[in-house]
C-alpha cells in the first residue's frame, strides 16, 4: 500500500494518565498496524509515558512538526484541541479517533479505526483547513499574555456579573453586563457557545461569533462578524473574572484590561474520511430527527 505519510505520530489523551491507560491496547494495535506497512511510528512522549508504551520511539509535542507527516489523535475533542494548539505553527494534518464523549473533531470510530486509517493512508480522505483565533491581553499598556484558540476565547466572571465594552474595528458596539462573553471560531460554535445559545456556523465560513453568557439585558444577543475584523473587549467593571483559551489555559483579569482578538495567521489542517459530511455529523451528535 502506497502512502504519502512516511512518519506518523500518535497522540493519546495524555492530559489524564488513567484515561490514556484505558486506551493502551488500541494505541499499540494502531502503532503495530502502521509499522507493518513500513511506516515509521512515533508516540508523543507523555502518551507513551502514561500508557507505559516502551517499544516505540517518542517525540515531544514541540518537535512533532519537524518529524511527522501525519498526526493521529486518539481521545476526545479536548485532546484534539490540545494537539491543534500545540501544533499551531505546523502544517502537519491531524486525524482524530474518537474515544471521548461527543467527538465533533474526532471522526473515526475506535471500532473501525484500522480500516478507516488505511483508507486515509491511500488518499481516500477530505482535507479541511480550519481557522484559529489569536488574542492578546493588554494591561497598563503592556501585553501580558498572547495565546491561540481553536474553539473559543472566553471571558467569564466569578460570583458577580462582569461589565465589558466591545468595539469592532474601532467602532463601539455595546457595553454589556453578563456572566461573560464567548468569542468563537466556527469550529467552537458546537462547544460552549452552543450551550450559551449561540448559532452553529459551518466551519467553512470566514466568521467569528460573539456570544454573551447569561446577559443581564435580554436584548443582548449573539453577533456574528467577518473573521477579518479586529475585536477589542475592555473590562470596565469586575469583581473577579478570567480569560481562558479553549478551556485549557487561563489568566485572571483585572479592571482596565483590554483583550484584543483577531483571526490567527495559523490554521489547523484536518483529514476526514472520504464519506464525511458535516451536516450528518451534526445530526448524529445533536440527536436531530
Would residue 77 show up in a list of annotated catalytic residues for this protein? yes
Residues 6+ apart with CB under 8 A from 281: 104, 107
Which residue matches cell numbers 479505526? 113
Which residue matches cell numbers 476526545? 76
Q: What is the DSSP letter of 214?
A: S
CA distance 150 to 166: 21
CA distance 270 to 43: 19
Catalytic annotation, pick one of 77, 152, 179, 257: 77
C-alpha cell at 161: 456579573
CA distance 198 to 192: 9
CA distance 211 to 122: 41
Beta bridge partners of 273: 125
Phi and psi, residue 85, nearest 5°: -70, -40
CA distance 33 to 166: 51
Intra-chain end-to-end CA distance of the chain, in Å: 40
Catalytic residue ranges: 77
Amino acid at each position: 500500500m502506497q502512502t504519502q505519510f512516511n512518519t506518523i505520530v500518535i497522540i493519546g489523551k495524555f492530559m489524564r494518565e488513567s484515561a490514556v491507560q484505558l486506551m493502551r491496547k488500541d494505541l499499540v494495535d494502531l502503532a503495530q498496524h502502521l509499522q507493518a506497512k513500513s511506516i515509521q511510528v512515533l508516540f508523543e512522549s507523555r502518551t507513551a509515558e502514561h500508557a507505559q508504551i516502551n517499544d516505540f520511539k517518542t517525540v515531544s509535542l514541540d518537535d512533532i512538526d519537524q518529524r511527522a507527516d501525519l498526526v493521529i489523535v486518539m481521545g476526545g475533542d479536548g485532546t484534539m484541541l490540545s494537539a491543534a494548539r500545540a501544533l499551531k505553527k505546523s502544517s502537519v494534518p491531524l486525524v482524530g479517533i474518537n474515544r471521548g464523549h461527543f467527538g465533533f473533531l474526532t471522526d473515526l470510530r475506535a471500532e473501525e479505526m484500522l480500516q478507516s486509517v488505511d483508507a486515509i493512508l491511500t488518499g481516500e480522505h477530505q482535507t479541511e483547513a480550519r481557522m484559529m483565533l489569536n488574542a492578546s491581553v493588554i494591561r497598563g499598556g503592556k501585553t501580558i499574555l498572547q495565546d491561540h484558540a481553536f474553539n473559543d476565547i472566553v471571558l467569564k466572571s466569578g460570583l458577580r456579573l462582569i461589565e465589558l465594552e466591545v468595539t469592532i474595528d474601532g467602532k463601539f458596539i455595546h457595553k454589556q453586563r453578563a456572566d461573560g462573553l464567548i468569542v468563537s471560531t466556527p469550529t467552537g460554535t458546537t462547544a460552549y457557545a452552543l450551550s450559551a445559545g449561540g448559532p452553529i456556523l459551518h466551519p467553512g465560513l470566514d466568521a467569528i461569533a460573539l456570544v454573551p453568557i447569561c446577559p443581564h439585558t435580554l436584548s443582548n444577543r449573539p453577533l456574528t462578524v467577518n473573521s477579518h475584523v479586529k475585536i477589542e473587549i475592555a473590562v470596565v467593571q469586575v469583581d473577579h473574572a478570567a480569560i481562558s483559551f479553549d478551556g485549557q489555559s487561563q489568566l485572571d483579569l483585572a479592571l482596565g484590561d483590554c483583550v484584543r482578538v483577531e483571526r490567527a495567521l495559523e490554521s489547523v489542517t484536518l483529514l476526514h474520511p472520504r464519506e464525511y459530511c458535516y451536516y450528518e455529523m451534526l445530526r448524529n451528535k445533536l440527536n436531530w430527527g
